[in-house]
Structure 1
Amino acid sequence: MKNTIEIEKEDLKKILLLLMNKLDASNHNTFVLDQDLYWNVLDEELYHTYKDPKDLTMESLTDDWQFLQNVLNGKREMIDDDLYKLSSILRFLGKQ
């Protein structure tokens, strides 16, 4: 069964803003990534939930953050793939 939802850009922006406000209200000025490597399911397999993924890749939070730092430092432009990198870091921090 295929479900389709549409997400309004403005709603997504509101959620991100609420998350940023929560981040600003926290007592933390820094966050520790005390783990580095994580499993990544390839896009082609990620949403095929009735089949076990066959091609897992190993990714690095450190590498993800370094790529994002290059955007902040103006060393490169942001690309769509950076959302994956940021989401991996946010997912890790969400478990903290």
Structure 2
Amino acid sequence: MQVTVSELRAVSEQLFLHLERKGYSSVELSADYYWNIPKELRYNPYEEPKELDLGQLTDDWANLCNVLEGKTDPLGYALVWLSTVLRAVGETVIE
């Protein structure tokens, strides 16, 4: 599977517009900690993961805010932090 950055940008914009049309200008996330499957095991459907670690949405969000405010440079790994926050938003706003 190959995705383009322009496609990712376009679908993201559609989804954010959808939230705004539904009346959301912010989303309250009640959970903070989440289970994470290490990258080496996440995409191997032939082996059940036995190792989990914890992630924290507030840490991920703080890292993203640092990028937004110019305190740290943008880097590709920031998409991982963004993905955890977006997952939590998507699981909270089910419409």
What TM-score results when the alignment is normalised by the length of structure 2? Answer: 0.85
CA spacing shift, 1:47–1:13, aligned 2, 3 Å? same
Q: Is it true that 1:30 corresponds to 2:29 in the alignment?
A: no
Return the alpha-carbon distance in structure 1 between the equivalents of residues 26 and 6 of structure 2: 29
Return the alpha-carbon distance in structure 2 between the equivalents of residues 76 and 22 of structure 1: 30
**Residues 38-69 of structure 1 deviation map (CA, whole Å, 9 limit, x = unaligned):** 01111111111121112211000010001011
Q: Moved runs in structure 1, 4+ residues, more than 3 A?
A: none
Q: Is it true that 1:79 corresponds to 2:75 in the alignment?
A: yes
Q: Which of residues 14, 27, 51 in structure 2 aligns to 1:18?
A: 14
Q: Is it true that 1:91 corresponds to 2:87 in the alignment?
A: yes
Return the alpha-carbon distance in structure 1 between the equivalents of residues 88 and 55 of structure 2: 13
In structure 2, the residue matched to 1:64 is 60
Which of the pair has more CA radius of gyration? 1
Structure 2 residue runs without a partner (length 5+): none
The count of corresponding residues between Structure 1 and Structure 2 is 92
Structure 1 residue runs without a partner (length 5+): none
What TM-score results when the alignment is normalised by the length of structure 1? Answer: 0.85
